């Protein structure tokens, strides 16, 4: 299973980077290969200063070795070995009318002292973070999420949409990071689903990414905007940074397993502002976005 899924994310990385380069039309991804001392490594692909994409990364990794003590406590296990692989992406467009997007699809195994696999699961999802709310964009994104879920279980979309709203939430701000999408973790084999079923679902969601995001990016990439709207984008990017550094479990796992810092923090946008107690005007487009972020809604 680990070889099958790693092969899948390598192909998906190629598909996504090719599609994003086509939309940008100017910049190309540069590949950065890296190795982890304890075992494994990855392929980071970074794009910067493009015509459309200000900064983005589409990274894959496969790491293995003894599970660090800090993570043993987290998983409530003793001395075990682990294997983890996944694809993680974040795209920050230049235009404030175009939303930031995040996606992650991953697989994890744990082994006992006899190198026998004692646990395995899938996780992942995708979510959208607009700076200006276009409801048709949120509906399109969620519709693609729902289609991927409905191909496997009619209950999946509601379950994983709710988990996404709960997870990508800046509790210290009382607001969501964006308009959500899907989030799932610890998808294991059970009485209803085999591990192959979990693979099929996770890859279905991964395959939905391009249709969920590229049409939105194409529609918004050339819209006009003002310096004030750019400032708002940078202030909202600050909230994105806050979530990733304060709450995100993937960032925590990477840092505690001696992951590669540059790849872990590639999700951070290039220009950000933290204005003291910034409050948008009432009834403005900015305040309309905040209303939705404080009260997540059903999009489809």
**Catalytic residues, which ones?**
102
Instruction: State the Cα–Cα distance between residues 175 and 99, nearest whole angstrom.
Output: 17
Local structure of residue 26 (DSSP, 8 states): S
Q: Are 280 and 286 in contact (CB under 8 A)?
A: yes
Contact 90, 101 (CB under 8 A): yes
CA distance 67 to 192: 29
Residue carrying the six token digits 């519709």:
143
Task: Give yes or no for a contact between 141 and 217, defined as CB atoms under 8 angstroms apart.
Answer: no
Q: Are 270 and 240 in contact (CB under 8 A)?
A: no
DSSP state of 266: G
What DSSP string runs through 115-143? --EEEEEEEEEEEEE-SS--HHHHHHHHH
Q: Hey, what are 82's tokens?
A: 């682990």
């Amino acid at each position: 299973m680990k070889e099958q899924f790693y092969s899948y994310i390598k192909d998906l990385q190629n598909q996504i980077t090719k599609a994003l380069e086509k939309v940008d039309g100017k910049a190309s991804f540069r590949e950065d290969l890296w190795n982890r001392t304890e075992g494994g490594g990855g392929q980071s692909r970074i794009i910067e200063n493009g015509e459309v994409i200000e900064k983005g990364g589409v990274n894959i990794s496969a790491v293995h070795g003894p599970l660090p003590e800090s993570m043993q406590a987290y998983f409530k296990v003793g001395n075990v070995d682990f294997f983890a692989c996944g694809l993680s992406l974040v795209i920050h467009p230049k235009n404030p009318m175009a939303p930031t997007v995040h996606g992650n699809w991953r697989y994890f195994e744990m082994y006992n002292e006899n190198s026998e696999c004692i646990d395995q699961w899938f996780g992942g999802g995708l979510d959208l973070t607009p700076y200006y709310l276009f409801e048709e964009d949120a509906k399109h994104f969620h519709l693609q999420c729902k289609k991927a879920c409905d191909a496997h279980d009619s209950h999946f979309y509601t379950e994983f949409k709710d988990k996404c709203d709960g997870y990508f939430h800046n509790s210290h701000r009382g607001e969501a990071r964006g308009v959500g999408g899907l989030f799932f973790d610890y998808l294991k084999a059970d009485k209803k689903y085999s591990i192959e079923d979990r693979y099929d679902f996770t890859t279905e969601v991964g395959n939905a990414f391009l249709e969920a995001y590229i049409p939105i990016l194409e529609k918004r990439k050339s819209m006009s905007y003002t310096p004030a709207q750019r400032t708002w984008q940078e202030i909202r990017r600050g909230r994105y940074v806050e979530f990733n550094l304060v709450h995100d479990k993937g960032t925590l796992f990477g840092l505690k397993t001696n992951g590669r810092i540059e790849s872990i923090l590639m999700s951070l946008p290039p220009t950000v502002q933290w204005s003291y107690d910034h409050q948008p005007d009432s009834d403005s487009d900015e305040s309309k976005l905040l209303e939705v972020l404080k009260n997540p809604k059903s999009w489809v």
